[in-house]
């Protein structure tokens, strides 16, 4: 096979790979949600606070649930909390991020479409029409901590309980990230292009 034929063959392979990776079936995207606030409570029975915290939930847009025409939910593949002065802890209790489009409010809750709310807010018109499938924020406003004592919220540092508070300043952000297959495919295409260039120079 001469250089021209190699270029043509690898070029077609590159285009086919790019098409397959950008087709609807391959467009699953990871998404990272962050919920920031401040509160008092207990961790493993030991009181803390007031302490700033950041909850980070990682999910997949393919797993979004349409609870209604304006309420959406994504269960997290993993979630953690960074408590200022105490450290970072992984949630063992499964959780989710939701968006209530009727009130333009995102939130963090126990997993499942019936999972009870834990941290809601902020309510903001910027969430009008938002569906958890794209990046947004950061958006800051008023929120509330609630219902942490309904059932245990377990972390690898013990049971976490926040005291209920409806005057929390909260910041919400969602960030889309490429799935590993997309990154791998892009690297493969770049490698193929480099191979063609090296082959061309050697001839």
What are the CA-CA distances from residue 181 to residues 12, 30, 99, 160, 178 (Å)? 20, 11, 27, 35, 8
Q: Over 80: is that where the pLDDT of 184 sits?
A: no
pLDDT the model gives residue 176: 97
pLDDT the model gives residue 178: 83
Contact call for residues 148 and 159 (beta carbons, < 8 A) = no
pLDDT the model gives residue 94: 98
pLDDT the model gives residue 180: 62
Phi and psi at 29, nearest 5°, equal: -125, 140
pTM over 0.85, yes/no: no
A 10 A CB-CB count for 69 gives 8
Q: What integer is the mean pLDDT of 88-103?
A: 98
pLDDT the model gives residue 91: 98
Q: What integer is the mean pLDDT of 132-157?
A: 98
Instruction: Please name the residues in contact with 141: beta carbons below 8 A apart, sequence gap of 6 or more.
Output: 121, 122, 123, 124, 169, 170
Half-sphere exposure of 163 (CA within 13 A, CB side): 14
Q: CA end-to-end span of the chain, whole Å? A: 12
The percent of residues above 70 in pLDDT, for the chain, comes to 74
Helix or strand run (H / E) with residue 15: helix 3-22
Q: Over 80: is that where the pLDDT of 119 sits?
A: yes
Q: Over 90: is that where the pLDDT of 88 sits?
A: yes
């Amino acid at each position: 096979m001469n250089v021209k034929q190699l270029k043509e063959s690898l070029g077609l392979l590159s285009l086919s790979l790019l098409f397959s990776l950008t087709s609807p079936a391959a467009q699953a995207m990871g998404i990272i949600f962050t919920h920031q606030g401040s509160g008092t409570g207990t961790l493993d029975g030991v009181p803390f606070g007031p302490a700033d915290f950041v909850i980070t939930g990682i999910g997949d847009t393919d797993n979004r649930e349409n609870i209604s025409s304006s309420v959406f939910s994504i269960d997290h593949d993993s979630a953690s909390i960074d408590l200022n002065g105490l450290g970072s802890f992984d949630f063992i209790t499964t959780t989710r991020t939701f968006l209530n489009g009727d009130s333009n409010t995102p939130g963090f809750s126990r997993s499942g479409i019936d999972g009870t709310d834990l941290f809601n807010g902020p309510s903001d018109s910027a969430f009008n029409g938002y569906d958890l499938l794209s990046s947004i924020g950061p958006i800051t406003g008023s929120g509330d901590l609630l219902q942490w004592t309904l059932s245990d919220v377990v972390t690898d540092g013990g049971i976490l309980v926040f005291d209920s508070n409806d005057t929390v300043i909260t910041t919400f952000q969602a960030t889309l990230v490429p799935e590993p297959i997309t990154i791998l495919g892009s690297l493969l295409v770049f490698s193929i292009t480099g191979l063609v260039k090296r082959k061309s120079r050697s001839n």
